[in-house]
Amino acid sequence: MSRRILVVDDSPTLVKFVSYSLKSSGYEVVGACDGMDALEKVSHLESDIDLVITDLNMPNIDGYELIATLRQNDKFAEVPIIILSSEEGDEDKQKGEKVGATSYLVKPFKSSVLLAEVARLLD
Amino acid sequence: MDKSIRVDDSAKNIHAELRHLADSISQIIKGIRVAQEPIADSRNKVPQATKQLEKVTQQTAMATHRVLDMVEAITSREGEIETQIKELRRVLPSTYFRNNSRVKRIVERICVNVSSNQNDAYAIMDALQFQDITSQQVDHAISLLEQVENRLKDVLVGLQLDVGPENDVKRKERAYDPNAHFSNNSNEQSEVDELLNNLTKEKQNN
């Protein structure tokens, strides 16, 4: 059974690009346009999410709040979460780590880097 | 008598000063009124500029999605060619390529080209992330323009001038990184290769 990945970004281009990269490597993808949409979709999913990839700067619910909320849910306590952000500062990385992110990639990134990181976290 | 002359002179001086002051204030008011129109005009132009910038973002997004769809279709077809060659190798007798070295070279060349095309397609997709980065930069510019619009409104209100009709366009909630930039770091590929090599080694060890 293919692994299911939740991709959250307010840029439709990024969701499309990341989704295509993941799908071409055999992953199933659930896309969301912000943190609120992600939480809504997660609450309606019947099967589990194996990994989350999220942006930080998003309207409604941002990436930090999304990660913190997901970590409070037992289902997501151990799920790897990758932050994809154009924020390069250590402060953002530390803040992401503090709320429960597993990994941090800076935009723009190569799809091969993302795929290698996803494989590393899911293996 | 002398005293009353002095009072009279002082009153004349005060009167002249007041008149001068009134003239100055009148000039200032005229100046402010002259400035009102360009300030109001500049303020009214900001929504037009933001609308234009939003249109640019929308159009580049549409074009980018179109290219992404086409690249997706190309890589899918390249994948099909790979599958068909595998099928060809499966259905042909094992001695076929041994006895037909020219055909073997052609098939090998096709495989190399397919692989190169797929790598190039991934590179195109990676490069298309520029749209996300530029849309964040445009959002930042729009946000700065909106700040200018609000400051101009404050100036008009502060000078008790006509603010004009309120812009009823609903403002979009913007979430962007003001420092977003598109870097092209040549070291990245070596980092990728190292990461992939480590991953392969890890898998082999397991």
Query: Looking at beta carbons, which residues of chain A come within 8 Å of B140?
Result: none
Residue B75 forms contact with A (CB below 8 Å): yes
- In this predicted structure, the answer to whether residue B50 has a pLDDT above a threshold of 50 is yes
Mutate to test the interface with B, among A7, A24, A64, A117 (most CBs of B within 10 A): A24
- Tell me, what's the pLDDT at B81? 96
The 10 Å CB-count burial string (b at 16+, else e) for B55-67 is eebeebbeebbee
Structure token digits, residue A57: 């700067």
Instruction: Write down the pTM of the prediction.
Output: 0.75
Residue A60 forms contact with B (CB below 8 Å): yes
How close A45 comes to chain B (CA, Å)? Answer: 27
Asked if the Cβ–Cβ distance from B195 to A113 is below 8 Å, we say: yes
What's the CA gap between A103 and A97, in Å, rounded? Answer: 8
Asked if the Cβ–Cβ distance from B129 to A13 is below 8 Å, we say: yes
- In this predicted structure, the answer to whether residue B168 has a pLDDT above a threshold of 60 is no
User: Which of A17, A58, A116 comes nearest B192 by C-beta?
Assistant: A116
Condensed to tens digits (0 to 9), the pLDDT of residues B57-66 reads 999 999 999 9
Domain locations along chain A: 4-122
Query: Looking at beta carbons, which residues of chain A come within 8 Å of B173?
Result: 59-60
CB within 8 Å of chain B, chain A residues 87-116: 87-88, 107-113, 116
Could you tell me if the ipTM is greater than 0.85? no
Q: Are B47 and B165 in contact (CB under 8 A)?
A: no
Condensed to tens digits (0 to 9), the pLDDT of residues B98-156 reads 899 999 999 999 999 999 999 999 999 999 988 988 998 898 999 999 888 888 888 88
The chain-wide mean pLDDT, for chain B, equals 83
Q: At the top level of CATH, which class does the domain A4-122 belong to?
A: alpha beta
Cβ burial of B139 (10 Å; 0-12, 13-18, 19+) is: buried
- Tell me, what's the pLDDT at B195? 55
φ, ψ of residue B93 in degrees (nearest 5): -60, 145
Whole-Å CA distances, B179 to A85, B69, B136, B138, B186: 11, 29, 9, 11, 21
| Confidence tier at B166 by pLDDT (50, 70, 90) | low
Residue B50 forms contact with A (CB below 8 Å): no
Comparing CA positions, the residue from A46, A48, A67 lying closest to residue A56 is A67
- Which of the residues in chain A have pLDDT under 50? none
| Confidence tier at B170 by pLDDT (50, 70, 90) | low
